[in-house]
Structure 1
Amino acid sequence: MHIHTRHNTLLFLLLLLATYSNANNTDDTRHTPIKEQLGQQLFFDPNLSFNRTQSCATCHAPDRAFTDPRDNGVQGAYSLGDDGHSLGDRNAPTAAYAMFSPDFTFNKEGKYIGGQFHDGRENNLAGQAGGPPTNPIEMGMPNKRVIAKRLQENPFYLSAFKSLYGDNIFTNAENSYAAMADSIAHFERTELFAPFDSKYDRYLKGEYKMTEQEELGRTLFFSQQFTNCNLCHQLNKSQRHPQETFTNYEYHNIGIPTNIEGRKKNGVPIDTADTGLLNHPQVDDPKQAGKFKVPTLRNIAVTAPYMHNGVFQNLRTVVLFYDKYNSRSSKRQINPETGQVWATPEVPQNLSIKELETGPALDDQRVDALVAFMKTLTDKRYEHLLNNNE
């Protein structure tokens, strides 16, 4: 996707127009911008980055399931910043279905859940939207005051912000920045980000018949007798819930190894441990080190690479990685992408052993069936990408 392009495909534009025509169909609001429209404009605006080269859509491209489609010299593991050379140390998560993540909290079961980013450090979508513009290795803006000035360069923004947030919205940079983030969050709550129209959703409506392999994968996925998948990747306990996001929004350490090749290129010392949830400003419990938020499996087959650090390139590799905890087969102890024994965890303590060791080992047929089922979780408009991710 070209970073200056505001509408990536004709299909995307048509979907966008349909969304707004439904949301803005009364006479008294016909000529007044709504927050979703303002947020859409902001989401695609490269002027919110220091060198005017990068927008939210650069790392969350709508034609690639709202992930970063660029290689960036690290096989897509990390995103490249507006300065043209800075690389992050985590894989950009999809913005699709992110609206359903609850605010970050410590629940009654004694578990941290929700929030945005891999470590939940922002409570909600607005908090997430406000992060990248002032991050020095992302969009690189020096402060909120400079961003407020950039916003006022655009006549549409001047009018829309005042209309939606009050005439004095630009008198305070904190307020105008919060309004910007709020508008983007409103856009990210539109149906465009969560259409629930995959083959799985159509199957639930009786509009799609799963293949034998997909049906086997579905059965395995939802069965605690045969896999451990749904311990973390099922929110609604009914197998036929129409809006299953395939994550319980908890945090777990599953033993992901360091992305050594990525670290060699982004300059982060290889022996530096990303402690995940422990990076959250509200978390100081060492037992949370190495835990990351369980991601949605929606569009998982078209959003490689995988894990918080993009260390795995193939979805089948991910399934095999989980299976190594239960299989005694020597074959299962080998990472098929490297041909070597699975590398040791970046953070070896606090592993979710109970969850990881639930269920029997999987043979190749069942591994392939699980991958086939996860492909059915692809939104309809991204199904053409499946052949590119074999």
Structure 2
Amino acid sequence: MRLSKLSLAPVALLALGLISALPAAAQLTPKQELGKALYFDQNLSLNKNQACASCHLPPGWADPRNAADPANLVVSEGSILGLFGGRNAPSSAYAAFSPFFQWDAAAGLFVGGQFWDGRANTLKDQAKGPFLNPVEMAMPSKRAVLEAAADPFNPNLLAYQTLFMSVFRVDLASLDLNNTIVVDAVYDLLAEAIGDFEKSRELNAFTSKYDYYLAGKVRLSGNELRGLQLFNGKAKCALCHLCAPAIAADGVSVMPPLFTDFTYDNLGIPKSINPLLAANPVDFGLGGRADIAALDPQGLQLGKFKVVTLRNIALTAPYGHNGYFATLTDIVNFYNTAGIPGMWPPPEVPHNVNRAELGNLGLMPMQVAHLVAFLNTLSDGYRPGPSPLAFPLPPLP
């Protein structure tokens, strides 16, 4: 889904009244409060040591353990020690804006969904998975998750009882956990609450320096501006990571840039050999899904992974679906020189590699540094002074 771009300068946006102020901190709704408690609760894992936030922790809403790994063995350890996920944990920030997974016939591309391969349609669908994944939170059943939430020794029990009742009219203390219909229904509500928290201002802050720049409240430095020019020009980043405000789905609101078009690409990233994984097979991404493979006998989706948002990118190292790149400079250098013989190991999946939009860009080292300087302006939490938020929270799809 490609959004129509606006060519309005920051001053023009202000003059037209398209950017309004919000209080410095937006309050969570009761459902979001419930979702936040669930999101950060390690008691909902097999060994009471793993939460959603373990792999999606602020400020980047990704896994900081991966960035700290000196060997760059990028996998997140699950509740069962010694078991690891097979992909770099993506940031959960701004995931709420991804549309449903769909085929865009006009563009000839798959678009949207959650996870690196789009296999979940919504945040609610996505939230159901990690609790029951044996290499993540490792709970044996939905019932076990609800039992953990209702455990008298769970320090969140009172909050859960209060919020489940006020939000969903569910009495957590009297659930019939032998009734699979009840268990399925309440598990769905639990996932719905987590998804609603992920739609909140906490994960979708729009408070980066670039947001304030678009709002006409700050200036970018010379190097940051040079990086922005490269981003839109020679480096070709903006072809997929859209950086201009756009008209939102309601046809009226201004949507701040999300720095993704939600499509899928094979960047030709080399395979990350990870001795922590018992098996380290080739990851075919979107094309590895059985439902997609059945629709794609020519293998045109092999090796493709979702184009991620660049918001908070400086806070979410390492980079790539397999975390092959330890730093922003590393992955920018890859974009610059991919495809040049001898520069990099071969792609993990050699099919469908995008050579039209990356590789052999001809960027000089100083230009790479300027591009990285601009990418650092995309981190939320910038404080220009006593100023309101740059953007209101735009309408969700």
Verify the 8 A CA contact 1:151 1:158 in the aligned structure 2: no
Question: Which of 266, 280, 288 is the aligned partner of 2:289?
Answer: 280
CA distance in 2, matches of 1:51, 1:228: 46
User: What is the aligned-residue identity percentage?
Assistant: 39
Q: Which amino acid aligns with 1:233?
A: H
1:382 is displaced (CA, Å) by 10
1:238 is displaced (CA, Å) by 6.1
CA distance in 2, matches of 1:51, 1:184: 21
Question: Which of 165, 169, 180 is the aligned partner of 1:166?
Answer: 169
CA distance in 1, matches of 2:260, 2:300: 21
| SS in structure 2 at match of 1:132 | helix
Deviation digits for residues 245-297 of structure 1 (CA, Å, limit 9, x no counterpart): 1010000001011111xx2122223xx21000023353122211100000110
Question: Which of 355, 358, 361 is the aligned partner of 1:353?
Answer: 355
Verify the 8 A CA contact 1:204 1:242 in the aligned structure 2: no
Question: Which of 147, 154, 159 is the aligned partner of 1:156?
Answer: 159
Correspondence for 2:19: none
CA distance in 2, matches of 1:68, 1:275: 22
Change (3 A) 1:382 1:302: farther
Deviation digits for residues 160-218 of structure 1 (CA, Å, limit 9, x no counterpart): 22332234784411111111110001111111111111111111122211111111111
Most deviating of 64-73 and 164-173: 164-173
Mapping of 1:1-390 within 5 angstroms? 18-20=25-27, 34-62=30-58, 64-71=59-66, 75=72, 77-108=74-105, 109-153=107-151, 154-167=157-170, 170-171=175-176, 172-223=182-233, 226-234=234-242, 236=244, 243-260=256-273, 263-269=274-280, 272-284=281-293, 285=296, 286-325=299-338, 341-356=343-358, 360-380=361-381
Q: Which amino acid aligns with 2:166?
A: S
Change (3 A) 1:179 1:281: farther
Deviation digits for residues 13-47 of structure 1 (CA, Å, limit 9, x no counterpart): xxx99432xx55xxxxxxxxx21111011111111
Structure 1: 5+ residue stretches without partners: 1-15, 25-33, 335-340, 384-390
CA distance in 1, matches of 2:64, 2:199: 22
TM-score normalised by structure 1 residue count: 0.80
CA distance in 2, matches of 1:90, 1:277: 13
Change (3 A) 1:375 1:130: same
Verify the 8 A CA contact 1:257 1:311 in the aligned structure 2: yes
CA distance in 2, matches of 1:84, 1:58: 13
1:350 is displaced (CA, Å) by 1.2
Change (3 A) 1:202 1:309: same
Q: Which amino acid aligns with 2:315?
A: V
Q: Comparing both chains, which one has the higher relative contact order based on Cα–Cα distances under 8 Å and sequence gaps of 6 or more?
A: 2
RMSD of Structure 2 on Structure 1 (CA):
2.5
Across the two proteins, how many residue pairs are aligned to each other? Answer: 337
TM-score normalised by structure 2 residue count: 0.79
Change (3 A) 1:104 1:242: closer
> Following TM superposition, where does structure 1 have runs of at least 4 consecutive aligned residues deviating by more than 4 angstroms?
71-74, 235-239
Most deviating of 228-237 and 70-79: 70-79
Structure 2: 5+ residue stretches without partners: 1-22, 152-156, 177-181, 248-253, 385-397
1:76 is displaced (CA, Å) by 6.1
| SS in structure 1 at match of 2:238 | helix
